[in-house]
Amino acid sequence: MIVISSDLPEILTLSDRIITLSEGRVTGVLHSDDANEERLMTLMAIDHNALSAV
């Protein structure tokens, strides 16, 4: 089952594996044991424009 949600507690409760996206690009893949709200927010906030400028 695929769950799409912006409700982080819901994602953490329902998921075995979490894939984060930013600007339509995958920024991380986490197993639920390694995931928490802070880590998910960090991965979702990655700025691809800043990375490509380096």
Domain limits of the chain? 8-52
Query: Which pair of structure tokens corresponds to residue 8?
Result: 């982080």
Residues 2-12: tens digit of each pLDDT = 888 889 999 99
Rounded mean pLDDT, 3-28? 90
The Cα 5–Cα 20 span in angstroms is 11
Q: Which long-range contacts (CB under 8 A, 24 or more apart) does 9-16 make?
A: 9/37, 11/40, 12/36, 12/37, 12/40
pLDDT of residue 46: 83
